[in-house]
Amino acid sequence: MVFYDLTSSYFEGEGPEGLAQYGYSRDQREGNRQILLGVVMANGWPIAHHVFRGNRHDSETVLPIVADLEKRFGLRRIVFVGDRGMVSTANLGFLWSQGHGFLFGLRRRRSPEVLEYVRKAQSGSWQPCSPEEKDRVCEVEGALPGQRIFVVESAERLAYEQAMRERDVTKTREELGKLAKRIEKGELRNREEIGSSVARILSLHRGHRYFRWSLRAGKLQVSEEPVETEKLLEGST
């Protein structure tokens, strides 16, 4: 079993030619060139490191890493552990075709597949992650033969995300209510201006997760239907 993770390192100057590029910055330094640093761990020890161009996507580094492990250490089969940023159809297909195992996190939002896994888990058999913890796990059927999907519910994450949702929904609802009154009074009529105002409000407190809206007969129509989906995903990893 090998664990792989990436970080970035930025430069105040030009940086190494060919490697230093503008890309997604984990340091919130989008105005600086950077490189990506990948580290491979096994049994708690670093066994390899790699340097990639700063504009390379995390998922694009997986295949070179696996190829290097096979060549350098003569490994015929590995269990590759990575985060959700490394998941791609190409990576999963390659690891599967080569007989390697893998363990990846999946993105919860905007994924009908993950939502279906979480729904299945609601009526599944949950097990505690450990006797001392409140966290629990449920295995559900995957889409491929031999594929195992684990839905993990973190008590700490659940409490945090519930509180965050309640705060964000309250603030967004208040702001949308104020905007609706302005529209009804005729203070705001232009559809583009109304759309921009709604978009601004939704972006302030992650309101796009919880609300849908439309403009009908000069009135702002707001639905909180997406809240139920968010409740279902809360605490799950």
Number of structural domains (the chain) is 3
168 and 197 share one domain = yes
132 and 162 share one domain = no
Return the closest-CA partner of residue 234 out of 159, 138, 133, 150: 159
pLDDT digits (tens, 9 = 90+) for 159-172: 999 999 999 999 99
pLDDT digits (tens, 9 = 90+) for 23-60: 988 888 888 899 999 999 999 999 999 999 999 999 99
pLDDT number for residue 119: 93
140 and 183 share one domain = no
Output the average pLDDT for the chain: 92
14 and 64 share one domain = yes
pTM of the model: 0.76
**Residue 138's domain spans which residues?**
107-153
pLDDT digits (tens, 9 = 90+) for 102-156: 999 988 888 888 999 999 999 999 999 887 778 999 999 887 778 899 999 999 9
Final residue belonging to a domain, choices 41, 72, 105 = 105
pLDDT number for residue 27: 87
pLDDT number for residue 11: 87
Final residue belonging to a domain, choices 105, 128, 143 = 105
pLDDT digits (tens, 9 = 90+) for 203-225: 999 999 999 999 988 899 999 99
58 and 111 share one domain = no
CATH of the domain at 58: 3.30.420.10
81 and 10 share one domain = yes
217 and 147 share one domain = no
Could you tell me the pLDDT band of residue 16, with boundaries at 50, 70 and 90? confident
116 and 191 share one domain = no
1 and 80 share one domain = yes
Final residue belonging to a domain, choices 105, 123, 138 = 105
190 and 144 share one domain = no
pLDDT digits (tens, 9 = 90+) for 66-110: 999 999 999 999 999 999 999 998 999 999 899 999 999 988 888
23 and 111 share one domain = no
96 and 28 share one domain = yes
pLDDT number for residue 218: 85
